[in-house]
Structure 1
Amino acid sequence: MHPSSKPYANEQYSEAQPPPYGNRPIATGFTPATGARYAAPQALVPWSTGLFDCCSDRRNCCLTCCCPCVTFGQIAEIVDEGSMSGTASATIYALINATTGHACMYSCLYRQKMRSKYRLEESPCNDYCVHCCCESCALCQEYRELEKQGYKVVMGWQGNLQQNRGVAMNLTPPTNEPAMKR
């Protein structure tokens, strides 16, 4: 490697000791300020179903096409882990849609939350475009993804808790720390 092509060509730092970047994790496996370990980022996974696989669940597809606020409310309640009821989320969605016609701006935020929690790929394009162009398909895909993750979305957060004997389902998969090497 040519010295000028090194990422840390400055003599003050070496490749073993990169320059500090605030509290952002660096390649050593520690956060600079606290020295605490962090989990290595894991690869993003694809959605379990495609955006246009709506016909695989005709009941949900029909409901979402006729009344997307209901499906959105169910999704939002699970993603928010019950901090807001599905009815409240559905009402907010319906009010935004009735007043501005742009409920997709609100619903795309929940797609982002869901992707973050499950480390899902941003596909086939960014979240806003998916919701803006294919709102019903996006909601159906999110609904199916939660079903594949083990939730019975129609039961809501509390219903899923009761069915699982009070044990909350973990929306964030466990992280695997790499083995230490000498």
Structure 2
Amino acid sequence: MSEKFADGSWSTGLCDCFSDCPSCCLTLWCPCVSFGRVAEILDKGKTSCCLHGSLFYLLAGFTQLGGCIYAWLYRAKLREVYGIEGHHCTDCLVSFLCLHLSICQEYRELKVRGFDISAGWDGNVQMYTRGVTSAPEVEGGMSR
């Protein structure tokens, strides 16, 4: 783990939205898109951004509580995956009381950790592997 993240804290504060205006604006006007992107990366591409965003939109649209619970689960997951100190109770409170700020902080956290959030999981895998999906074949096998 990089020294930058060794202390187990968030890389940006909850209210540091102005350090990344584009993601702040996206989260303010389209939280389902921001949430979907974060969730897709945390799920390592097993579920698409579109599915996560749509489910978030439906849950938050019918009952604000549903969207908050869904966001809370992924905030806790991000914190656990990256060893960020905290507690499920704190994740719950932040997700319920500051939903947009919470999603924006998660978005920024993944960006700081090297993800191009808009590229999705597959796009990030391709960028870091440069499209290599398997080891090169050696003609004739290995010999001495």
Alignment TM-score > 0.5, same fold: yes
1:133 to 73, 97, 108: 97
Matches for 1:86-105 after TM superposition, within 5 Å? 86-102=49-65, 103-105=67-69
Instruction: Give the aligned partner of residue 85 of structure 1.
Output: 48
How far off is 1:63 after superposition? Answer: 1.1
Give, as a single letter, the amino acid of the residue that structure 2 aligns with 1:54. Answer: C
Residue 25 of structure 2: which of 52, 59, 62 is its match?
A: 62
Runs of at least 4 residues of structure 1 off by over 6 A? Answer: none
Q: Which has the larger radius of gyration?
A: 1
Q: Which residue of 2 aligns with 1:148?
A: 112
SS of residue in 1 equivalent to 2:20: helix
In structure 1, what is the equivalent of residue 127 of structure 2?
163
Q: Could you say what secondary structure the match of 1:73 adopts? A: helix
Which AA in structure 1 matches 2:43? D
Check whether the contact 2:23–2:108 (CA below 8 A) recurs between aligned residues: no
Deviation of the 1:101 alpha carbon: 1.8
Q: How many correspondences in the alignment?
A: 125
Contact 1:69–1:93 (CA<8 Å) still a contact in 2?
A: yes
1:75 partner letter: V
CA shift, 1:147, in A, is 0.7
C-alpha distance in 1, partners of 2:132/2:12? Answer: 27
Q: Is it true that 1:53 corresponds to 2:16 in the alignment?
A: yes
Q: Comparing both chains, which one has the higher relative contact order based on Cα–Cα distances under 8 Å and sequence gaps of 6 or more?
A: 2
Contact 1:161/1:167, CA 8 A, preserved across alignment: no
Partner AA of 1:89 in structure 2: H
Gaps of 5+ in 2: 1-5, 134-144
Corresponding position: 1:119 with 2:83: yes
Could you tell me whether the CA contact under 8 Å between 2:9 and 2:84 is conserved in 1?
Answer: yes
Which secondary structure state, in structure 2, belongs to the residue aligned with residue 164 of structure 1?
A: helix
Contact 1:71/1:143 (CA < 8 Å) preserved in 2? Answer: yes
Separation (CA, whole Å) in 1 of partners of 2:132 and 2:8: 25
- Which structure's residues are more often helix, by fraction? 2
Paired AA for residue 145 in structure 1: E
Aligned Cα RMSD in Å?
1.8
* Alignment partners' CA distance in 2, 1:92 and 1:68: 12
Percent sequence identity over matched residues?
Answer: 45
How far does residue 133 in structure 1 lie from its aligned partner after superposition?
A: 0.7
Shift of 1:68: 0.5
* Residue 145 of structure 1, CA deviation: 0.6
Q: TM-score by structure 1 length?
A: 0.65
Shift of 1:167: 7.2
